[in-house]
């Protein structure tokens, strides 16, 4: 699987699931990506408005989760001339 197809898959998932967060482990399971932070940076560099925060898991470990807000999707599509 190429980096570009992973980026597209992640972008599409974020847009289709606005408000829902994804972690690195979930991205590995869904898309086979080993480095979600790099894929997210790729998306941000193209103007995709991805938000993030650290969360604490029940086992005490901290991981970062990523999501897109519904309002940000609308603004992004408006800027790009999409419906």
| Domain layout of the chain by residue ranges | 3-79
In the predicted structure, residue 25 carries a pLDDT above the cut 90: yes
Could you tell me which of 20, 6, 23 has the C-alpha nearest to residue 57?
23
**Domain range 3-79, CATH class:** mainly alpha
Could you tell me which of 49, 52, 42, 40 has the C-alpha nearest to residue 74?
49
The string of DSSP codes covering 10-43 is: HHHHHHHTTT--EEHHHHHHHH--S-HHHHHHHH
Structure-model confidence comparison of residues 3 and 60, the more confident one: 60
The answer to whether residues 52 and 68 touch, using CB atoms and an 8 Å cutoff, is no
Judge if pTM exceeds 0.75. Answer: yes
pLDDT, tens digit (0-9, with 9 covering 90-100), for 26-53: 999 999 999 999 999 999 999 999 999 9
Distance CA 82, CA 26 (A): 28
């Amino acid at each position: 699987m190429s980096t570009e197809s992973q980026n597209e898959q992640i972008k599409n998932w974020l847009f289709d699931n606005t408000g829902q967060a994804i972690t690195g482990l979930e991205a590995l399971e869904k898309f086979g990506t080993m480095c979600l932070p790099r894929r997210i940076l790729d998306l941000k560099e193209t103007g995709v408005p991805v938000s993030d925060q650290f969360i604490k898991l029940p086992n005490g470990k901290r991981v970062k989760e990523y999501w897109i807000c519904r309002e940000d999707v609308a603004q992004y599509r408006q800027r790009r001339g999409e419906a």
